[in-house]
A and B are shown apart, each in its own frame.
Chain A
Amino acid sequence: MIKTKADIAIRVHADVMDVRLPCEIDHHSAVRVRRMIDESICAHRPKTLRIDASGVDFMDSSGLGLLMGRLSLMKKLKGELILSHPSPAALRMVRLAGMERIITIETNK
């Protein structure tokens, strides 16, 4: 299958699950992204869920719901959630909701 920027990519190695979000996160895409992430979490039980939001050109409040939901799921499994390299569009939403205080954010800087 050809992987495009528009599609989600999931990779699991050891107890880390890496997810790269597609370029647009709205209600329509979030439903599918959530289902794919949760199926993989249930199958692999990772300790760390790392969500790479570097390629997100568009995100609305549905993305916040997606992140909050995954955070509470990982907490339930005694694991952690890391938001990796959020794009300006993603970071703007996260900040607006004050979520940078409750989510671990990983950046190069």
Chain B
Amino acid sequence: MASYSVGDCSRRGLIVRNEINIKLPSLSVNEGMARAAVAAFCVQADPSATELADIKCAVSEAVTNCIVHAYRDTIGEIQLRVRIYNEGLVNIEIKDRGCGIEDVRRAREPLYTTDAEGERSGMGFTVMENFCDGVRVTSRPGKGTTVTLTKRLQDRFSAT
């Protein structure tokens, strides 16, 4: 199979096999479409049903955060980039140019929310952390936030 190489992926011998980029406006009606599109793309990496459900849920959390927090009271652009690497590694980047997060460490704590009156439970980052193998958050107040989710799919065909 011809490999498709992009930038920083030579690290640890990782090769990008496939990639999609999606841009969408921060309308709540797009939440279902965004997670379904990412899941549909990931199917080629042969995830289990549970792994696919994990990915859907984590993506839903990150995209919803862009809609309800980053672009609160406005509509902005959300960028999704999904990469499938060799060795069953999936990398999903969710990027906004919204309000940013002052204190990322605090934001990631379970039950922490800045929107209690909107009936948010403050569990979004906890869900992402539980359903993925890696969650990286980089944010600059006033500039925006990038959440990078990493999921390592189990190889169900080679004996371990």
Q: Given A26-B31, A28-B32, are A96 and B119 neighbors across the interface (CB < 8 Å)? A: no
Nearest chain A residue, comparing its CB with the CB of B124: A61
Chain A residues closer than 8 Å to B57, beta-carbon distance = 58-60
Q: Given A60-B57, A64-B121, A69-B119, are A27 and B68 neighbors across the interface (CB < 8 Å)? A: yes
B6 within 8 A of A: no
A103 within 8 A of B: no
Interface digits, B123-151 against A, CB 8 Å rule (1 contact, 0 not)? 11011001000000000000000000000
Q: Assign chain B's interface to a size class.
A: 20 to 34
* Interface contact B60-A60, CB-CB below 8 Å: yes
Chain B residues closer than 8 Å to A60, beta-carbon distance = 57, 60-61, 64, 124, 127
Q: How far is the CA of A27 from the CA of B62 in the complex (A)?
A: 12
> DSSP majority for the A interface?
helix
> What number of A-B contacts does a CB cutoff of 8 Å give?
59
- Selected from B29, B61, B124, the residue in CB contact (under 8 A) with A28 is B29
B146 vs chain A, min Cβ distance (A): 20
Interface digits, A4-27 against B, CB 8 Å rule (1 contact, 0 not)? 000000000000000000001011
A40 within 8 A of B: no
Interface digits, A84-96 against B, CB 8 Å rule (1 contact, 0 not)? 0000010001001
Nearest chain B residue, comparing its CB with the CB of A27: B64
Question: Which of A31, A59, A62 is most buried by chain B, counting CB atoms within 10 A of its CB?
Answer: A62
Q: Given A60-B127, A93-B127, are A28 and B28 neighbors across the interface (CB < 8 Å)? A: yes
Q: How many of chain A's residues have a CB under 8 angstroms from any CB in B?
A: 21
B38 vs chain A, min Cβ distance (A): 13
B68 vs chain A, min Cβ distance (A): 6
Nearest chain B residue, comparing its CB with the CB of A58: B56
Q: Lowest 9 CB-CB distances: which A-B pairs, in order? A: A28-B28, A64-B121, A65-B119, A61-B123, A69-B119, A60-B60, A65-B121, A27-B64, A61-B124
Sample of 20 more A-B contacts, CB < 8 Å, known A27-B64, A62-B120: A26-B60, A27-B31, A27-B67, A28-B28, A30-B119, A31-B28, A58-B53, A58-B56, A58-B60, A59-B57, A60-B61, A60-B127, A61-B61, A64-B121, A64-B123, A65-B119, A65-B120, A69-B119, A89-B53, A93-B127
Interface positions of A (Cβ within 8 A of B): 24, 26-28, 30-31, 34, 58-62, 64-66, 68-69, 89, 93, 96-97
Interface positions of B (Cβ within 8 A of A): 28-29, 31-32, 53, 56-57, 60-61, 64, 67-68, 110, 118-121, 123-124, 126-127, 130
